[in-house]
Amino acid sequence: MPSWLVFALIALLPTDAPRPPLVDFLGGPRTVVCLGDSVTGVYYHTGGLRAYPEMLEIALRQHYPQATLRVVNAGISGHTTRLGLDRLERDVLAHRPDLVSVAFGLNDLTSIPLDAFRTNLVSIVERCREIGAQVVLCTPNAVIDTAARPVGRLEEYCRIIRDVCAEKQVALCDQYAAAMRLRADDAWAWRLTMSDEIHPNMDGHKRMAEELAWTITGQRVKLLDLPPPPLPLRTTRQRIRNRMPLRVLAMPPFHDYLRAAILDALPDAGEVHLELFEWPVAGQSLAQIEQYAQETVRRQKPDLVIVAVPIEAYTVDGRPLDHEPFVRSYSWIMNWALSFGTREWDCLIVHPAVACNVAAAPHPHDDLVRRLVRAQDLSLIDRGPNDASSTETLFRQWMRNRLTESVIHP
């Protein structure tokens, strides 16, 4: 079916009506390349292992389990349409893609004028079409309004993207509009999809992948319930197996439990040189713990980080922190506990219930912590209902399971 006819049919369909896919994924091996900036690439804000392009591949495989396909992530932090155009041949066209998604704007609005932004987008579209690739232009995700990236200015760049789609008859994935619909329906639910002021966390990326899969396939898919990736102790396991030194930064009391926990799981690991560093948190506020994370973790380059924020840091003058400052600081503690780009070390989060007596009253932020950790695509050590095990027992059991199992489901 000619592409112009596909777009004409799409225009006549209701917003959520099933429609023809942009690519015949069952007609042979297919390659999709996602070109963009740090939101597209794999960085700290989604846990450092995957982002929406990787989730898109999962979605496409759900739709087409018999298909031979791959999704290439061509996102680079700080990039604009100009830089994307500069590397288009190497990072996109060289893969001979059947479809290219293009997602820029968050950096363009700080350095690329609107007319140049439009010209760059048109050039990217035309060069992709020259090799026979379908193109999807994506508006940026919605952001928290800041002086650096004011929402009003971002909307001007979204308008340019929509105009280019109409002018060039290109498929539009309106991520900004989808996020704003969620925000209008439930502002707090939208806030919890953001890792920082401009980057979505993995929950946000799952929603972005759902929207992009819908644009490409014409069918809806649900990704929000997918768990974090398996093998949360991949680096730790490899270093122990290879008898390499293991540098660990851990909040108390888990820095005291770690050596015994490793030997309990792997008795022959006694030859491994374990360098343990305590992350001091006693008497610290959540903001102070965040500041320490910013100043220390990435500079130290550990192999394993164990984040166990004490419940005392959740309160001010005996009252729970308001939701917004709590979410912001807790998210940034996790962000700073990870390497900037692709994850270079293991990162575990321990729920405060693990360090508390099982009879302790639940804290108002208990479920919020669980939601934030999952949204960051990280693994959580938690206490099950009515589990009266000691803190050390819970920790050692979790470590034993993760260090010894070949297939792990967090």
CATH code of residue 255: 3.40.50.1110
Give the least confident one: 11-20, 55-64, 124-133, 391-400. Answer: 11-20
Domain boundary among 158, 186, 217: 217
Tell me: do 277 and 159 sit in the same domain.
no
Domain boundary among 183, 217, 251: 217
According to DSSP, the residues that pair with 275 across neighbouring strands are 247
Which tokens belong to 145? 């309004």
Tell me: do 255 and 197 sit in the same domain.
no
SS3 at position 274: strand
Number of domains in the chain: 2
**What was the pLDDT predicted at 326?**
97
- Residue 274: phi and psi, rounded to 5, are -105, 120
For the residues 84-90, what does the mean pLDDT come to?
Answer: 98
Q: What confidence tens digit (pLDDT) does each residue in 146-190 have?
A: 999 999 999 999 999 999 999 999 999 999 999 999 999 999 999
**What was the pLDDT predicted at 359?**
67
Q: β-pairing, 99-103 with 134-138?
A: parallel
For the residues 2-27, what does the mean pLDDT come to?
Answer: 61
CB-based contacts of 209: which residues, under 8 Å, 6+ apart? Answer: 52, 53, 55, 56, 58, 59, 223
Q: pLDDT class for 39, splitting at 50, 70, 90? A: very high
SS3 at position 250: strand
User: Nearest-CA neighbor of 343 among 46, 73, 54, 75?
Assistant: 46
Give the least confident one: 70-84, 119-133, 160-174, 353-367. Answer: 353-367
Residue 168 lies in a domain: yes
* Percent of the chain topping pLDDT 90: 86
Residue 344 lies in a domain: yes
Tell me: do 139 and 168 sit in the same domain.
yes
**What was the pLDDT predicted at 16?**
62
Q: What confidence tens digit (pLDDT) does each residue in 217-262 have?
A: 999 999 999 999 988 999 999 999 999 999 999 999 999 999 999 9
Residue 358 sits at the vertex; the CA angle it makes with 354 and 363, to the nearest 5 degrees, is 75
Which residue has tokens 């990280």? 378
Altogether, the residues listed in the chain come to a count of: 410
**What was the pLDDT predicted at 318?**
79
Tell me: do 199 and 295 sit in the same domain.
no
Q: CA 147, CA 113: separation in Å to the nearest integer?
A: 17
Tell me: do 117 and 74 sit in the same domain.
yes
Question: Which DSSP state fits 50?
Answer: -
Cis previous bond, 253, omega within 30: yes
Domain boundary among 217, 244, 272: 217
Question: Which DSSP state fits 311?
Answer: G
Answer yes or no: is pLDDT of 5 > 70. no
For the residues 113-132, what does the mean pLDDT come to?
Answer: 98
User: Nearest-CA neighbor of 20 among 4, 9, 29, 31?
Assistant: 9
User: Nearest-CA neighbor of 191 among 322, 328, 335?
Assistant: 328
Answer yes or no: is pLDDT of 13 > 90. no
Tell me: do 297 and 335 sit in the same domain.
yes
Across the chain, how many H-helices and E-strands are there? 17, 12
Contact predicate 75/37, CB 8 Å: yes
Which tokens belong to 288? 């102070």
Alpha carbon separation from 341 to 39, 80, 167, 228 (Å, rounded): 11, 18, 36, 17
**What was the pLDDT predicted at 406?**
65
Tell me: do 151 and 238 sit in the same domain.
no
Beta-carbon neighbour count of residue 184 at 10 Å?
Answer: 9
Q: Which helix (H) or strand (E) holds 166?
A: helix 151-168
Contact predicate 67/30, CB 8 Å: yes
Q: CA 244, CA 231: separation in Å to the nearest integer?
A: 19
Tell me: do 48 and 195 sit in the same domain.
yes
Residue 258 lies in a domain: yes
Q: CA 223, CA 243: separation in Å to the nearest integer?
A: 38
Tell me: do 173 and 259 sit in the same domain.
no
Q: CA 216, CA 98: separation in Å to the nearest integer?
A: 11
Tell me: do 18 and 119 sit in the same domain.
yes
Q: What confidence tens digit (pLDDT) does each residue in 190-219 have?
A: 999 999 999 999 999 999 999 999 999 999
Tell me: do 253 and 173 sit in the same domain.
no
Which amino acid type is present at position 170? V
Which residue has tokens 């807790």? 330
Which tokens belong to 211? 């929207």
Which tokens belong to 353? 């219930």
Q: What confidence tens digit (pLDDT) does each residue in 105-115 have?
A: 999 999 999 99
Beta-carbon neighbour count of residue 114 at 10 Å?
Answer: 14
Residue 241 lies in a domain: yes
Per residue in 22-44, is it b (16+ CB within 10 Å) or e — as a string? bbebeeeebbbbbbbbbbbbbbb
Residue 222 lies in a domain: no
- Residue 167: phi and psi, rounded to 5, are -70, -40
Residue 287 lies in a domain: yes
Q: β-pairing, 134-138 with 246-250?
A: unpaired
Q: What confidence tens digit (pLDDT) does each residue in 47-73 have?
A: 999 999 999 999 999 999 999 999 999
Residue 57 lies in a domain: yes
Greatest extent of the chain over all pairs of C-alpha atoms, in Å: 68
Tell me: do 201 and 54 sit in the same domain.
yes
* Percent of the chain topping pLDDT 70: 94
Q: What confidence tens digit (pLDDT) does each residue in 252-309 have?
A: 999 999 999 999 999 988 888 999 999 999 999 999 999 999 999 999 999 999 999 9
How many whole angstroms from its chain centre is CA 233?
18
Residue 384 lies in a domain: yes
**What was the pLDDT predicted at 15?**
54
Parent domain of 122:
3-217
